[in-house]
């Protein structure tokens, strides 16, 4: 064989030649002398093959020589193709292993004692970050890892079909949403009365630029952030608009507002940074359901705040900062990781959640457990500064508040509330205080029918949309369709009248016996009932013509 070019030349006379690729080498040997293997190494210059231009086989018999040469002529293109593909693959792999431009050698890290893998990863990345001059992309990575945005908790698992615990559904990043510092600065100004609505520097549009703003078209912005101070203190609070103005961070906003409003840092020692991380993670753990989402949670937080102030609960029950913190956190977490189905669906479908909680308050138990798993993470353990007895008290308080949002307890609870003021030992400041607090969380949860009618209608459309999605799933699974979940038979106007008459109004009438100022909700419910009555014919026609497919 002769190899010309820069590759060393070999001239050999063999009767039978076998070629075999072994790594980056070409092995040649004969049947007569298989142990005498010759390896030809290929050399690369500027990523191209230089040598191997000619291949000649010499045999002593001229006839065989001619015959073999003819076969070689036929087979050489195939051999060359195989050789070329193999060499090209090796060259590509070698190029891919080259260091990119600007590469710096790994930093030597001295042996240290790290508490967690996360601490070690952050130490390494911070060292690289400093050595590279602080690139923005790496800064973002550090931000995500430091705040555990890759995974809310090791306890939050995902399973096939029905999930026991969910991972983060959405994450606040520099690319999507709004940085926490901006919202917190808004809240500080809101609570500081020294601001002007005409100040362009405090406009949400001036503070924020969102290249993906077209995604907010579902909730068009009509109010500036500075106007929400007044709305937070009224029944006209529009959580949909707040969600839009804050770039889909309504729940985070409401939690931070309450944190600053009631000075939880100084009054309870709750760390500000940890409360911010907790607020972001809690918001992120809500799913993208039509109704049970972070917008609903923000609305419930505002409602309990309104019941404390406008409803008179803070004065009558002598509510302390500890009570307010538990109330607000319960309201914010009461539907966390809601799957968009009700308890009956979970039980009928034999979901893993139903199995886990033995068909008892399935979702309410799940919401409560998810919240406590969330604060197990050191970065958002908002109760770490409380004494052990305070932690136990807060835990029981939050568990009771969330479990009592279970609708199976609703009618029994109405009876308890009606009889409560008539008891000889009735004391709203001590013995019955926390029963009233439970009642307020549940009232806030079912209380959007007591909003002004346009808001009430919007919430009704959202919940019915979620009901219909459940009904569609039940139909597909061969299950009996739950009440109000069949889009073919449900009249929205009639369903809302029934909901006000038999569920919401009796409940608020009972609360108004304890907190007389809550009667504003009862008045609004009666007004909305009349408004819904005027829509019955419209929704009946819509049902007959479209089967509620447009809802």
Mean pLDDT, to the nearest integer, of 285-295? 96
Distance in angstroms (rounded) separating the CA atoms of residues 51 and 40: 11
Distance in angstroms (rounded) separating the CA atoms of residues 176 and 170: 9
Residue 19 has pLDDT above 70, yes or no: no
pLDDT score, position 128 = 80
Q: Are 88 and 53 in contact (CB under 8 A)?
A: no
Q: Are 281 and 148 in contact (CB under 8 A)?
A: yes
Helices (H), 446-535: 453-476, 492-499, 505-514, 519-533
Report DSSP letters for 213-236, one per residue. Answer: GGGGTTS---S-GGGHHHHHTSTT
CB burial readout 241-275, b (16+ within 10 A) else e:
bbbbbbbbbbbbbbbbbbbbebebeeebebbeebb
Collect all residues with Cβ–Cβ distance below 8 Å to 510 and sequence separation of at least 6: 414, 417, 418
Pairing of the two strands 18-22 and 25-29: antiparallel
β partners of residue 27: 20, 39
Per cent of the chain over pLDDT 70 is: 65
Which structure tokens are listed for 472?
A: 């569609």
Q: Are 163 and 187 in contact (CB under 8 A)?
A: no
pLDDT score, position 89 = 63
Residue 551 per-residue DSSP state: -
Q: What's the number of CA atoms in the CB half-sphere (13 Å) around residue 300? A: 29
Catalytic residue, from 86, 143, 243, 292: name it: 292
pLDDT score, position 342 = 97
More confident: 3 or 183: 183
pLDDT score, position 85 = 65
pLDDT bracket for residue 399 (50, 70, 90): very high
- Helix, strand, or coil (residue 425): coil
pLDDT bracket for residue 551 (50, 70, 90): confident
pLDDT score, position 506 = 98
Report DSSP letters for 16-54, one per residue. Answer: S-EEEEETTEEEEE-SS-TT--EEEE--EETTEE-----
Cβ atoms within 10 Å, residue 341: 25
Report DSSP letters for 459-472, one per residue. Answer: HHHHHHHHHHHHHH
260: nearest Cα among 281, 276, 278: 276
Mean pLDDT, to the nearest integer, of 188-203? 51
Q: What angle do CA 173, 184, 138 make, to 5 degrees?
A: 30
Q: Are 403 and 332 in contact (CB under 8 A)?
A: no
Report DSSP letters for 297-334, one per residue. Answer: HHHHHHHHHHHHHTTSHHHHTT--HHHHHHHHHHHHHT
292 belongs to the catalytic site: yes
Distance of CA 389 to the CA centre of its chain: 32
Q: Are 5 and 52 in contact (CB under 8 A)?
A: yes
Collect all residues with Cβ–Cβ distance below 8 Å to 83 and sequence separation of at least 6: 21, 26, 52
Tens-place pLDDT, residues 479-528? 999 999 999 999 999 999 999 999 999 999 999 999 999 999 999 999 99
β partners of residue 39: 27
- Helix, strand, or coil (residue 486): coil
Residue 105 per-residue DSSP state: P
More confident: 230 or 148: 230
Q: Are 302 and 254 in contact (CB under 8 A)?
A: yes
Tens-place pLDDT, residues 76-134? 555 656 666 666 666 555 555 544 444 444 455 555 667 677 777 778 887 787 777 77
pLDDT score, position 386 = 96
Collect all residues with Cβ–Cβ distance below 8 Å to 125 and sequence separation of at least 6: 138, 141, 142, 145
pLDDT score, position 123 = 80
Query: Could you give the dihedral angle defined by the CA atoms of residues 288, 292, 298 and 300, in that order, rounded to the nearest 10 degrees?
Result: 180
More confident: 315 or 124: 315
Residue 479 per-residue DSSP state: P
Tens-place pLDDT, residues 138-170? 776 776 676 655 543 333 333 333 333 333 333
pTM of the complete model: 0.68
Distance in angstroms (rounded) separating the CA atoms of residues 36 and 39: 10
Distance in angstroms (rounded) separating the CA atoms of residues 457 and 492: 10
pLDDT score, position 216 = 34
Distance in angstroms (rounded) separating the CA atoms of residues 405 and 393: 19
Distance in angstroms (rounded) separating the CA atoms of residues 292 and 335: 7
Mean pLDDT, to the nearest integer, of 450-457? 98
Q: Are 475 and 481 in contact (CB under 8 A)?
A: yes
pLDDT score, position 289 = 96
437: nearest Cα among 283, 334, 540, 295: 334
Sign of CA dihedral 143, 145, 146, 150: positive
pLDDT score, position 179 = 53
- Longest CA–CA separation in the chain, Å: 125
Binding-site residues for AMP, in ranges, read: 292-296, 335, 445, 496
Binding-site residues for Zn(2+), in ranges, read: 296, 334-335, 445
Distance in angstroms (rounded) separating the CA atoms of residues 418 and 410: 13
Domain annotation for the chain: domains and CATH numbers: 12-93 (no CATH), 115-153 (no CATH), 235-546 (1.10.1300.10)
């Amino acid at each position: 064989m002769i190899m010309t070019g820069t590759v060393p030349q070999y001239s050999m006379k063999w009767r039978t030649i076998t070629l075999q690729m072994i790594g980056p080498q070409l092995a040649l040997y004969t049947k007569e002398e298989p142990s005498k293997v010759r390896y030809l190494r290929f050399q690369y210059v500027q990523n191209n093959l230089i040598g191997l231009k000619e291949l000649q086989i010499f045999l002593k018999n001229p006839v065989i020589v001619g015959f073999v040469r003819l076969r070689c002529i036929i087979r050489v293109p195939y051999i060359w193709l195989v050789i070329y593909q193999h060499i090209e693959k090796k060259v590509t792999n070698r190029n891919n292993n080259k260091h990119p431009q600007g590469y710096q050698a790994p930093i030597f890290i001295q042996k240290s004692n790290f508490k967690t893998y996360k601490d070690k990863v952050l130490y390494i990345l911070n060292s690289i970050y400093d050595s590279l001059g602080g690139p923005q992309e790496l800064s973002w990575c550090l931000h995500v890892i430091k705040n555990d945005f890759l995974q809310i908790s090791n306890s939050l698992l995902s399973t096939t079909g029905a999930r026991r615990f969910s991972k983060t559904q959405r994450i606040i990043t520099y690319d999507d949403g709004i940085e926490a510092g901006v919202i917190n600065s808004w809240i500080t100004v809101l609570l500081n009365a020294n601001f002007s609505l005409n100040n362009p520097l405090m406009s949400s549009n001036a503070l924020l630029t969102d290249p993906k703003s077209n995604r907010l078209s579902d909730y068009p912005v009509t109010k500036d952030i500075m106007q929400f101070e007044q709305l937070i203190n009224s029944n006209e609070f529009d959580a949909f608009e707040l969600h839009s103005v804050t770039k889909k961070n309504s729940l985070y906003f409401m939690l931070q507002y309450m944190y600053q409003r009631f000075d939880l840092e100084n009054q309870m020692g709750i760390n500000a940074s940890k409360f911010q991380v907790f607020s972001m993670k809690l918001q992120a753990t809500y799913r993208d359901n039509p109704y049970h989402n972070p917008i609903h949670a923000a609305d419930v937080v505002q409602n309990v705040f309104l019941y404390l102030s406008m409803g008179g609960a803070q004065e009558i029950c002598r509510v302390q900062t500890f009570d307010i913190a538990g109330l607000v956190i319960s309201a914010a977490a009461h539907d966390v990781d809601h799957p968009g189905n009700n308890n009956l669906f979970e039980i009928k479908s034999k979901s893993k959640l139903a199995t886990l909680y033995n068909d008892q308050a399935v979702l309410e138990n799940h919401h409560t457990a998810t919240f406590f798993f969330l604060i197990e993470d050191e970065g958002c353990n908002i109760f770490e500064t409380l004494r052990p007895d305070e932690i136990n008290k807060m835990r029981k308080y939050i568990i009771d508040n969330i479990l009592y949002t279970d609708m199976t307890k609703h009618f029994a609870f109405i009876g308890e509330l009606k009889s409560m003021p008539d008891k000889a030992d009735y004391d709203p400041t001590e013995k019955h205080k926390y029963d009233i607090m439970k009642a307020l969380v549940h009232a806030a949860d079912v209380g959007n029918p007591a909003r002004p009618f346009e808001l009430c209608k919007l919430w009704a459309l959202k919940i019915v949309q979620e009901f219909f999605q459940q009904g569609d799933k039940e139909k597909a699974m061969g299950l009996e369709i739950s009440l109000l979940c069949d889009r073919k038979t449900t009249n929205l106007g009639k369903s809302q009248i029934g909901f006000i008459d038999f569920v919401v109004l009796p409940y608020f009438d009972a609360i108004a016996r304890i907190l007389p100022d809550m009667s504003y909700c009862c008045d609004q419910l009666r007004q909305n009932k009349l408004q819904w009555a005027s829509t019955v014919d419209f929704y009946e026609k819509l049902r007959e013509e479209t089967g509620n497919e447009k809802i």
